[in-house]
Homo-oligomer: A and B are copies of this chain.
């Protein structure tokens, strides 16, 4: 996976924290490491705390391609309102991330599964040139790139098997309010699957061959910090796909539920602490709870049993 490793300042109506380990890559890696071996491609500055690198390494994340450069690490500051939903960005300091052009070490060019977090789509494309025949490529993006580099984002979508973006971004990309029309337009570019994240309203999976799946969000009474929900979702999603090595329709559906579970842990606590605290048993418990939430009567959930998470 490639993406940002950052320090975040987060304000909510209830609390405020500074210099939290964050960034898409951190959340994704901690979540996906519950399912598979993660190799992280990223960059940090010389202000980056050694204990944060150790924290990732301690979860089995391969940090050999996490570069350290002179300068400041990516720093994001944001604020949530009482709905604890979308963040208002107060400041973004790209630091060493700003002019970073990752070169994949030879050892990483044969990875079977690739996740491109929401970085510059031209860098996403450049990375795809550097890997040799990956089995599954999944990607995310964000409003900024959709506005300023739309055709490059479309190119990344064309070369991905799984597109995973949020509802507003899907609408923005397709210039339509209709999720169904947006899904059709994105799938026509070529990916096998599109996952649309809808925050507290769950997520939808659209398959190119016509299937559709919906999962509710995991109902939480308390959300402490929504930061990283989408990246943790992607971690559970891609982690599961890597663990089963398949894009089978049912595995994609299970992957969406795993993504939902990982996101639910992520938002319960600041930084990656929530998702880092999730045990395989806790993952399994929420997975089954989510399946029960949509079940009626004699329906058996046997077919929904996930493979055991890796750790």
- List chain A positions with a Cβ less than 8 A from chain B: 82-84, 177-181, 198, 201-202, 204, 212-216, 219-222, 250, 253-254, 257, 291, 293-294, 296-304
B304 touches A296 (CB 8 A): yes
Give the residues in chain B near A215, CB-CB below 8 Å.
Answer: 294
Asked if B299 and A302 sit within 8 Å, CB to CB, the answer is yes
Q: Which 3 A-B pairs have the closest CB atoms?
A: A298-B303, A297-B303, A294-B294
Given A177-B83, A201-B198, A219-B212; A304-B297 close (CB under 8 Å): yes
Contacts of A222 in B (CB 8 A): 178
Asked if B296 and A303 make an inter-chain contact with CB atoms under 8 angstroms apart, the answer reads yes
Taking CB atoms, residues of chain B closer than 8 Å to A301 are 299
Chain B residues with CB below 8 A from A177, complex form? 82-84
- Smallest beta-carbon distance A5→chain B, Å: 32
Contact partner, A214, options B180, B294, B300, Cβ 8 Å: B294
Q: How far is the CB of A22 from chain B (nearest CB, A)?
A: 24
Say yes or no: A294 contacts B213, CB within 8 Å. yes
Structural contact, B250 and A296, CB atoms closer than 8 A = yes
Evaluate whether A250 and B297 lie within 8 angstroms (CB atoms) in the complex, with A198-B201, A201-B201, A219-B212 already known.
Answer: yes
Name which residue of chain B comes closest to A180, CB basis. Answer: B221
A181 in complex: contacting residue of B178, B221, B304, CB < 8 Å: B221
Additional 10 contacts, C-beta under 8 A, given A180-B220, A254-B296: A82-B177, A83-B177, A201-B202, A214-B294, A215-B294, A216-B216, A253-B296, A294-B294, A296-B304, A298-B304
Residue of B213, B221, B254 near A178 (CB, 8 A) is: B221
Q: Tell me whether A298 and B297 are in contact in the complex, defined as CB-CB below 8 angstroms, given that A221-B178, A221-B180 are known contacts.
A: no
* A256 nearest in chain B by CB position: B296
> Which residue in chain B gives the minimum CB-CB distance to A298?
B303
A293 lies within 8 A of B250 (CB): no
CB proximity of A244 to chain B, nearest CB, Å: 12
A301 and B304 alpha carbons, distance in the complex (Å): 13
Q: Enumerate 27 A-B pairs (CB-CB under 8 Å) in ascending A order.
A: A83-B177, A84-B177, A178-B221, A178-B222, A179-B219, A181-B221, A198-B201, A201-B201, A202-B202, A202-B214, A202-B216, A213-B296, A214-B219, A250-B296, A253-B296, A253-B297, A254-B296, A294-B294, A296-B303, A297-B304, A298-B300, A298-B302, A298-B303, A299-B300, A299-B301, A299-B304, A300-B300
Instruction: Point out the residues of chain B lying under 8 angstroms from A83, CB to CB.
Output: 177
Which residues from chain B contact A179 at a C-beta distance below 8 Å?
A: 219
Q: In the complex, are the beta carbons of A293 and B214 less than 8 A apart?
A: yes
- Determine the residue in chain B with the shortest Cβ distance to A303: B298
- A83–B216 alpha-carbon span in the complex (Å): 21
Residues of B within 8 A of A299 (CB): 299-304
Which residues of B are found within 8 Å of A180, using beta-carbon distances?
Answer: 219-221
**Taking A202-B216, A219-B180 as contacts, is the C-beta distance between A291 and B296 under 8 angstroms?**
yes
Measured CB to CB, the closest approach of chain B to A300, in angstroms, equals: 6
